Amino acid sequence: MTATTYIVGAAGQLGTALQNSPHAPSQVRALTSADLDITDQASVADALAALGPRDVVINCAAYTNVDGAQSDVDSAVAVNRDGPRHLARATAAVGARLVHVSTDYVFAGAAATSDRPGRTVPYEPDDVSGEPETVYGASKLAGERAVSGADPRATIVRTAWVYTGGPESPDFVGTMRRLEADRDEVTVVDDQTGSPTYAPDLADALWELAADGRDTTRGVVLHATNAGGVTWYQVARAVFDEIGADPSRVRPCTTADFPRPAPRPAFSVLSGSSWTAAGLAPLRDWRAALHDAIHQPRDTRG
């Protein structure tokens, strides 16, 4: 019998990219919030009732409203901690494989201060996370621990700054494309550094991982992002450049100029060395991915 891959959170950005990837296997079952309530153990058990030892579950479901989580703690914890635990219990019970997607926000990424230098070295999976400065980050870190505790052979994949970049996309790249048409100048923070990751590239990488049967990719934490570290300001300038607009119309500012309910990591670049050390193909440079996102976009429709 052919193995089935279950995509949990299939209606989201990454779940959609997984379904539309040319590397998706023949047997995929896409599960949205209408198909299961990840926060409810019984709902998860019902949705995964046919799960077998050769099957794979890829969990893309998450409470990703970083600012909203600050005041909606119970919901964030239920989705980001309890939900993954329910999935891990289900996969562990039958010996199926779980690939759980996490985030750079599990690292504190503290900014430099007068008495403490800021981080400049990309994070490795075994670096101490510290105390995440957001409810979102703390709930995702708790989710990682819940997954590992319930299913020690599960694989956790951290990623960052995921986008599809279409003109109507609500992500950062799509937003910059729309703002370019609406404003003479756009002001963007230049003191938050991370790794922009094109959703179709991440989806392809996850399919490679899901098909990998080696023990080197089981029970580990891996980082998967497009290569390189840049600020949001630099990404915005690159978007303008790619669409033929003048990058000088993007003006830099500081995080303090635009306070948000949830603090953003000042530095959260993830190293890809763990991914390649596991024998997986490295993701390409962020700038090459951005070029294709704008000029040769992959189908990301749900």
Could you give the residue numbers annotated as active site?
136
Give yes or no for residue 120 having a pLDDT over 90: no
Task: Tell me if the pTM is above 0.85.
Answer: yes
Cβ neighbour number for residue 27 with a 10 Å cutoff: 13
At 213 the pLDDT is 84
pLDDT classification of 114: cutoffs 50, 70, 90: very low
- Give residue for tokens 């590992």: 148
Q: Which amino acid type is present at position 118?
A: G
User: For residue 117, is pLDDT > 70?
Assistant: no
Other beta carbons within 10 Å of 157: 25
pLDDT for 300: 63
Share of the chain above pLDDT 70, in %: 95
Q: What is the mean pLDDT of the chain?
A: 94
Domain ranges of the chain: 5-162+197-228+269-285
**For residue 216, what pLDDT is reported?**
85
Q: What is the pLDDT of residue 129?
A: 81
pLDDT of 201 above 90 = yes
**Domain formed by 5-162+197-228+269-285, architecture:** 3-Layer(aba) Sandwich (3.40)
- In the chain, the percentage of residues whose pLDDT exceeds 90 is 88
Q: Mean of the pLDDT values across residues 156-165?
A: 98
Compute the C-alpha angle 206/224/94, nearest 5°: 45
pLDDT band at 115 (very low <50, low <70, confident <90, very high): low
Give the separation between CA 225 and CA 201, rounded to whole angstroms: 9
Query: Between 231 and 112, whose confidence is greater?
Result: 231
Residue 21 has pLDDT above 70, yes or no: yes
The reported pLDDT for the residue numbered 302 is 39
- Whether pLDDT at 299 is above 90: no
Per-residue confidence (pLDDT) for residue 108, from 0 to 100: 81
pLDDT at position 45: 97
Structure tokens of 23? 């590397």
For 41-77, how does the pLDDT look when each residue is reduced to its tens digit (9 = 90+)?
Answer: 999 999 999 999 999 999 999 999 999 999 999 999 9
pLDDT tens for 204-263 read: 999 999 999 888 899 999 999 999 999 999 999 999 999 999 999 999 999 999 899 999
What's residue 113's pLDDT? Answer: 46
Question: Using 50, 70 and 90 to split pLDDT, how confident is the model at 112?
Answer: very low
Total residue count of the chain as it appears in this document: 302
